[in-house]
Structures are given as C-alpha cells and as structure tokens.
Amino acid sequence: MKAAQLEIGVRSQESEARRKESEVRSQERESVFLQI
C-alpha cells in the first residue's frame, strides 16, 4: 500500500516537473519572439 502511494507521488512529481519544463520552454520561445 505504501509503495503504491510512493509510486503515485513520484509520478505526480515527474508530471509536474515536465509541465513546468514545457512552461519554461514556451516562455523562452515567447521571449525569443519578442527579441526579434
């Protein structure tokens, strides 16, 4: 039971990190467009 909860927590952390990464990437793209 605890192992499953741990796995779910790790997975949610991973998906959160991925979402933040994609957010940063889109922000970088926007700033590049602004510089041009």
Task: Encode pLDDT of 1-32 as tens digits.
Answer: 688 898 989 999 999 999 999 999 999 998 88
* Three-point CA angle 13, 23, 33, nearest 5°: 165
Distance CA 2, CA 4 (A): 5
pTM value? 0.58
Interatomic CA distance for residues 21 and 14, integer angstroms: 10
Confidence at residue 36, expressed as pLDDT on a 0 to 100 scale: 63
